[in-house]
DNA sequence: ATGCCTCAGCTCCTGAGA
C-alpha cells in the first residue's frame, strides 16, 4: 500500500501535475493508493472529479473559496468520512478522514478470531484509517492566527487520540506547518523561534507522537537536508533553502509494516510548481 | 529590509502563504 501527501497550492493550477505524477507512480509499478491533497483553493463545485475519475481514482473533497481545501484521492472507495475536527467549530476546510480496505500484514499475525468477531469488526481491524490535514500556518508567534493554530492543534490531538482508540491502523498525513527540529530547517539559527520552528508548535508535534505515532520519514536514512517546502522567492529550491513541514505519521500498529518513506522532489522541478513536494510512504 | 515569489479575487493592487 502506497500513501502520499501533497500541498498543491491551488488544484486548479496544479491538476495536470497531479495527474502526471499519479500516472508516473503507476508506470513505476507501484501506484498510489491514497493521495491527500491540501490547499485546493476552490469551492466544492469546482472540484475536477471527472478528470480524477478518468485517471482511475475516487475522491472525497472538502473545499472553500480562495483558501484551504483538502481532498483524498484513492483507488478504492473511502468509508466513514469525517470533515474537519468533530467538536471544534472551524470555518476553514482543513481535515478529511476516511477508512480504506487493505490487505496489509495478512501474513504478519493480527489474529482475528472469525468465531467471536463479526465481519464488520474484522474489516475494521484490517482497514487503514487515513487523516489528511492542512494545519494552520500561524503566521507569527503571538498573533491571533498563532493562537488559532494552538487551539486547532489541541483539538486535533484530542480527536486523533479518540480515533486511534477505534482505529489502531491510522495514518495522519498532510501539511503540518511545523518542523520537528533543526534537521528540518535550512537555517536553524537564523529561523530560531520563527513560525514553524517555535517551541510551542514543536511541543504539539511531540504530543501527537506521544499518542503512539511515528515520523515515517525518520524510520529510514534520508539524504542530508531533506525538505518538503521551499520558498518561491530568492531561488529557494535551487539553493535548497527549505523546511520539512509535510509529514506522514503512522500508528504503532502500522509501524512494523512501513517499508519506505521519501520526499519526491521531482514535481518541484516542474514549470509553475507547487512550493511543496509530495511525501510518500509504502506499507507491506 | 517587509521585499524577493505565487495565487485568488469585488483582479492592474491586496492579503496570505511559509
A239 beta carbon to strand B: under 7 Å: no
Residue nearest to nucleotide B3 (CA to C1'): A233
For the record, the C-alpha cell of A194 comes out as 520563527
Question: Nine-digit cell at A271?
Answer: 514549470
CA distance A72 to A280: 14
pTM, full prediction: 0.95
Give the separation between CA A212 and CA A207, rounded to whole angstroms: 9
- Please, are residues A199 and A159 in contact by the beta-carbon 8 Å criterion? no
pLDDT tens track, chain A, 284 positions: 999 999 999 999 999 999 999 999 999 999 999 999 999 999 999 999 999 999 999 999 999 999 999 999 999 999 999 999 999 999 999 999 999 999 888 654 445 555 666 666 666 668 999 999 999 999 999 999 999 999 999 999 999 999 999 999 999 999 999 999 999 999 999 999 999 999 999 999 999 999 999 999 999 999 999 999 999 999 999 999 999 999 999 999 999 999 999 999 999 999 999 999 999 999 99
Cβ of A9 near strand B (under 7 Å)? The reply is yes
Measured from the CB, is A275 under 7 Å from any atom of strand B? yes
Neighbours of A225 (CB within 10 A): 13
Q: How far is the CA of A127 from the C1' of B1 (A)?
A: 52
CB of A117 lies under 7 Å from some atom of strand B: no
Q: Which nucleotide is nearest to A64 (CA to C1')?
A: B8
Are A242 and A230 in contact by the 8 Å Cβ rule? The answer is: yes
Cell of A133: 490535514
Residues 243-272 of A with CB under 7 A from strand B: 243, 245, 272
Measured in whole angstroms, the distance separating CA A192 from the mean position of its chain's CA atoms is 25
Amino acid at each position: 500500500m502506497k500513501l502520499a501527501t501533497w500541498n498543491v497550492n491551488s488544484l486548479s493550477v496544479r491538476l495536470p501535475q497531479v495527474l502526471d505524477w499519479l500516472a508516473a507512480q503507476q508506470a513505476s509499478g507501484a501506484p498510489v493508493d491514497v493521495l491527500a491533497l491540501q490547499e485546493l483553493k476552490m469551492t466544492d463545485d469546482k472540484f475536477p472529479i471527472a478528470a480524477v475519475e478518468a485517471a482511475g481514482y475516487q475522491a472525497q473533497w472538502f473545499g472553500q473559496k480562495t483558501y484551504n481545501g483538502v481532498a483524498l484521492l484513492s483507488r478504492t472507495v473511502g468509508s466513514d468520512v469525517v470533515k474537519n475536527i468533530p467538536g471544534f467549530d472551524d470555518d476553514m476546510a482543513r481535515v478529511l478522514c476516511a477508512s480504506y480496505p487493505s490487505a496489509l500484514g495478512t501474513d504478519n499475525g493480527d489474529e482475528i478470531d472469525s468465531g467471536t468477531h463479526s465481519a464488520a469488526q474484522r474489516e475494521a481491524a484490517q482497514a487503514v484509517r487515513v487523516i489528511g490535514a492542512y494545519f494552520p500556518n500561524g503566521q507569527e508567534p503571538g498573533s491571533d492566527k498563532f493562537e488559532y493554530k494552538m487551539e486547532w492543534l489541541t483539538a486535533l490531538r484530542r480527536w486523533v487520540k479518540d480515533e486511534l482508540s477505534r482505529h489502531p491502523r491510522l495514518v495522519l498525513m498532510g501539511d503540518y506547518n511545523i518542523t520537528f527540529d533543526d534537521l528540518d530547517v535550512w537555517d536553524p539559527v537564523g529561523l530560531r523561534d520563527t513560525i514553524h520552528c517555535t517551541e510551542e508548535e514543536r511541543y504539539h508535534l511531540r504530543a501527537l507522537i506521544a499518542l503512539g505515532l511515528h515520523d515515517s520519514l525518520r524510520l529510514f536514512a534520508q539524504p542530508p537536508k531533506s525538505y518538503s517546502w521551499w520558498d518561491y522567492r530568492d531561488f529557494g529550491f535551487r539553493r535548497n533553502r527549505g523546511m520539512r513541514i509535510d509529514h506522514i505519521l503512522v500508528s504503532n500498529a502500522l509501524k512494523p509494516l512501513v517499508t519506505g518513506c521519501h520526499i519526491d522532489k521531482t514535481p518541484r522541478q516542474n514549470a509553475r510548481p507547487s512550493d511543496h513536494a509530495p511525501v510518500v510512504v509504502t506499507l507491506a
